Amino acid sequence: MSTTPLTPPTGPEEVHIEVDEETKGIIRDMLSQMVNPVVFDLFTTSNCAGRDTNWCIPTEELIDLLASLAPEGKLIVNKHRLDQNGGNNPSPDVEENRVPIIYINGGIIRYLGAPLGEEVRALIETITRISTGKTGLRARTRGTLSSMANSDVKPVEVVTVVTPSCPYCPYAVLLANMFAFESKGKVRSIVVEAYEEPDIADMYGVTAVPTVIIRNEGTQGDVEFVGVPPEADLLKKVISYSGFNPPAQ
């Protein structure tokens, strides 16, 4: 089992991202593969919900950087300052106290907290894969999730608790994100940064990351994996929670 112990960091009250030109070139090359537009909705507040560290600043800086390095018009960013202009909030389920929050393609993929450190890799890979439609999932998995997308089952949420320093977390996150994309949101991927959302980590007794919780919409659910779940095992759990009866393949 590949996990990272949960040890809270200490740091400055304001954080900014620093990216050298070589790294920018690598990111630009990765994003150059984009075909279809990907839409980000970024939710923040003026004081970042009063957090000790203002994680809204580096999150916005990261998203702006990615948009500037992506092919023109391929990464669309909508910004919502929830405490200004009546909130301008197109998603009533967004909790202001959890900013920064990122919704990708209407919220089928959601980030609660800043996707920094190791999580940047999974975020960029998520963008390129959903833009090209090449998720990297097995044919059986894609077929089952496609059938689920066309069914009337209620969404199942895969909640992945991560930290920026965890080298294994991006693999779990990317897998859940691809499930969300292939199922057209019948599986919803929610990425939770443990240090920024400690109440969620505490609720599930998280002591190592990645921890993967599966739940039906509106329920607490259960911890199903500690470590990166095998694709086939995650599919079985998603099917079980959804009650979906997949066609024979």
Distance CA 145, CA 139 (A): 10
pLDDT, tens digit, 9 for 90 and up, residues 92-113: 788 999 999 999 999 999 999 9
Largest CA distance in the chain: 54
pLDDT, tens digit, 9 for 90 and up, residues 155-197: 999 999 999 999 999 999 999 999 999 999 999 999 999 999 9
Average pLDDT, rounded, for the chain: 92
In this predicted structure, the answer to whether residue 91 has a pLDDT above a threshold of 90 is no
| CA-based radius of gyration for the chain | 17
The percent of residues in the chain predicted with pLDDT above 70, rounded, is 91
pLDDT of residue 249: 61
Question: How distant, in Å, are the alpha carbons of 111, 160, 198 from that of 119?
Answer: 10, 12, 18
- Whether 96 contacts 45, CB under 8 Å: yes
The domain spans of the chain are 14-242
CATH for 14-242, options being 3.40.50.1580, 3.30.1180.20, 3.40.30.80, 3.40.50.970: 3.40.30.80
Question: How distant, in Å, are the alpha carbons of 64, 204, 205 from that of 200?
Answer: 28, 7, 9
Distance CA 219, CA 123 (A): 26
Confidence of residue 33 (pLDDT cuts 50, 70, 90): very high
Confidence of residue 83 (pLDDT cuts 50, 70, 90): confident
Residue spans of beta strands (DSSP E) within 153-199: 156-162, 187-193
